[in-house]
Amino acid sequence: MDAENSFVTVPVLFADEPGLAQGWELGWQRFHHFDIAAWREKCRLVAAQTANTCGLSADLYNNRFSSAVDCLLGALPAAHRTMASHIAMEFDYATPQERQQDDRFGRSWASAGMGLNWGAVRAAVARVEGGG
């Protein structure tokens, strides 16, 4: 015991024990601490960058932003993904299941025809493409 500095000297069992202890502490902080403000800021930045590439298309923005967030969520520990996805929903994040459901709805709506005569549409497109 070092009475002058009031700490106990403990023998090291393994040569790399200090490194293991430091690595454990860093890993614990990384996986047990979720910085909500930093994640919200990251979502804000991704949303702004995505909005600049999508014009005024809400569907395109939603798909691109949600895909980017999916990549970011994959890098987070599983324990933080639920909270992170809820925060991302503030910026119109949609889960892959929600996007798939929206795609199915859009395809079913389009296949209903919306009152269009698809034969006439194809003929008009052919005339425009053919120059006649």
Residue type, 10: V
* Segments making up each domain of the chain, as ranges: 17-130
pTM: 0.58
Task: Output the six-digit token pair for 36.
Answer: 């909500």
For residue range 34-56, list pLDDT tens digits in order.
889 999 999 999 999 999 998 88
Asked whether the beta carbons of 83 and 102 are under 8 A apart, the reply is: no
Q: How far is CA 3 from CA 6, 7, 12, in A?
A: 5, 7, 20
Q: How far is CA 62 from CA 69, 96, 114, in A?
A: 10, 11, 24
**What letter does residue 90 receive in the DSSP assignment?**
G
For residue range 76-120, list pLDDT tens digits in order.
988 889 999 999 999 999 999 998 887 776 666 655 555 666 666
